[in-house]
């Protein structure tokens, strides 16, 4: 068993560097975890949007995961953009084959600019094959609405959505609050099947929130890989993403990326 803590991201490539496996690997590294990746799709992307989406052959996804499982393995993993039900099924099959624990499912559906990153018909596969394997699922509010069919407007709606997703098999649910009303506070809600925990922070008024969900989920993954419990992992992820958003780096002309080194450099 290697002493070095490892984490795997199974997600899309964001040429713009702010989201996808690029955000994940940067976040793993900043949290002292050795990062590995299995790429599901290539996107041509910048801060203005997504200019192209090129899913990889299913066999290419399977083989990348097998290469990791047959040698180094991983202490935790996250999924991001998975694009199709075929890719979802292969990913679920490999997670079960290698009996991997500490599974974070970030149900990426639409890029901030509005481009679809998950085929509509793949939502059912995500719920059927991946949700039951999730240690934590981290939907934003629109993703939680798609997964549950509920309309989420109030704090009680968020709790109902969290219970619904827990009943679908996710061991923990985090309903992220970034898309909530423009309140002064951004509240992420964790549910573990018994109690709710709220993680609150000051809402930063900025357009530079490209990759916030990926970065948050990657930080949860890294902390689980280190052996932290879910509550503590979410606590660290919340502080990580707050620092990453607060300490803005002005890149591009649209929705810029977050600052992945802010947390570790004590800028938080
Ligand atoms: N403007 C903001 N100010 C502070 N935190 C934010 C802001 N927007 C998002 N967050 C935080 O970033 C993380 C990702 O949330 P969200 O943006 O809703 O996810 P996604 O990127 O998947 O849409 C959450 O922890 C959320 O609280
Ligand atoms: C390849 C890829 N994966 C995920 C996202 C979502 O990013 P966000 O965290 O801003 O919703 C993205 N824009 N591109």
pLDDT at 14 over 80: yes
| All domains in the chain, ordered by first residue | 6-246 (3.40.1190.20)
Query: How many Å from the N-terminal Cα to the C-terminal Cα in the chain?
Result: 34
Give the model's pLDDT for residue 200. Answer: 97
Tokens of 124: 């059912």
Q: Strand, coil or helix: what is 23?
A: helix
Rounded distance, CA 70 to CA 78, Å? 18
Instruction: Name the band, by pLDDT with cuts 50, 70 and 90, for residue 1.
Output: low
Instruction: Name the band, by pLDDT with cuts 50, 70 and 90, for residue 2.
Output: low
What is the four-CA torsion angle of 51, 24, 241, 127, rounded to 10 degrees?
80
What is the full DSSP assignment across 52-107? Answer: EEEEPPHHHHHHHHHHHHTTT--S-EEE---BSHHHHHHHHHHHHHTT---EEE--
Could you report the per-residue pLDDT of 141-172, keeping only the tens digit for each? Answer: 999 999 999 999 999 999 999 999 999 999 99
Could you report the per-residue pLDDT of 107-145, keeping only the tens digit for each? Answer: 999 998 889 999 999 999 999 999 999 999 999 999 999
Could you report the per-residue pLDDT of 44-86, keeping only the tens digit for each? Answer: 999 999 999 999 999 999 999 999 999 999 999 999 999 999 9
Q: Which of 21, 112, 118, 188 to mutate to test the pocket of ligand 2 (most atoms within 8 A of CB)?
A: 112
Give the model's pLDDT for residue 162. Answer: 98
Sequence-distant (≥ 6) Cβ neighbours of residue 127 within 8 angstroms: 147, 168
- 242 CA distance to ligand 2 centroid (A)? 17
CB of 14 closer than 6 angstroms to any ligand 2 atom: yes
Of all ligands present, the nearest one to the C-alpha of 210 is 2
The strand order across the sheet containing 136-137 reads: 49-55, 34-46, 6-14, 77-79, 103-105, 136-137, 172-175, 185-191, 196-202
Instruction: Name the band, by pLDDT with cuts 50, 70 and 90, for residue 94.
Output: very high
Instruction: Name the band, by pLDDT with cuts 50, 70 and 90, for residue 182.
Output: confident
pLDDT at 242 over 70: yes
Give the model's pLDDT for residue 268. Answer: 53
Averaged pLDDT score across all residues of the chain: 96
Nearest CA to ligand 1 atom 14: 213
Rounded distance, CA 13 to CA 39, Å? 7
Give the model's pLDDT for residue 112. Answer: 84
Q: Which residues pair with 116 in a beta bridge?
A: 110
pLDDT at 204 over 70: yes
Cβ-count burial of 43 within 10 angstroms (0-12 exposed, 13-18 middle, 19+ buried)? buried
Sequence-distant (≥ 6) Cβ neighbours of residue 10 within 8 angstroms: 37, 38, 40, 61, 65, 77, 78, 79, 80, 82, 91
Residue 260: φ, ψ to 5°: -70, -15
CB of 144 closer than 6 angstroms to any ligand 2 atom: no
CB of 177 closer than 6 angstroms to any ligand 1 atom: yes
Instruction: Name the band, by pLDDT with cuts 50, 70 and 90, for residue 181.
Output: confident
Give the model's pLDDT for residue 190. Answer: 98
């Amino acid at each position: 068993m290697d002493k070095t803590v490892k984490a795997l991201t199974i997600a899309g490539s964001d040429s713009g560097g702010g989201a996808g496996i690029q955000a994940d690997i940067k976040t793993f590294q900043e949290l002292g975890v050795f990062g590995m990746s299995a790429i599901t799709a290539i996107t041509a992307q910048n801060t203005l949007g997504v200019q192209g989406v090129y899913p990889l052959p299913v066999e290419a996804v399977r083989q990348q995961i097998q290469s990791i499982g047959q040698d180094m393995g991983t202490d935790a993993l996250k999924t991001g953009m998975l694009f199709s039900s075929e890719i979802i099924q292969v990913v679920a099959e490999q997670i079960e084959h290698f009996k991997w624990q500490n599974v974070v499912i970030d149900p990426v559906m639409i890029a901030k600019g509005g481009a679809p990153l998950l085929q509509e018909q793949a939502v059912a596969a995500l719920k059927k094959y991946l949700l039951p394997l999730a240690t934590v699922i981290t939907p934003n509010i629109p993703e939680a609405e798609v997964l549950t069919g509920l309309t989420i407007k109030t704090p009680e709606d968020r709790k109902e959505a969290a219970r619904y997703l827990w009943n679908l098999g996710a061991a923990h649910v985090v309903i992220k609050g970034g898309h909530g009303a423009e309140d002064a506070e951004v509240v992420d809600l964790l549910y573990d099947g018994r109690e709710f925990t709220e993680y609150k922070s000051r809402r930063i008024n900025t357009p530079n929130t490209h990759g916030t969900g990926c970065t948050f989920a990657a930080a949860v993954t890294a902390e689980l890989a280190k052996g932290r419990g879910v509550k503590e992992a979410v606590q660290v992820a919340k502080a990580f993403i707050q620092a990453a958003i607060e300490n803005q780096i002005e890149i591009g002309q649209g929705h810029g990326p977050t600052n992945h080194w802010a947390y570790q450099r004590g800028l938080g």
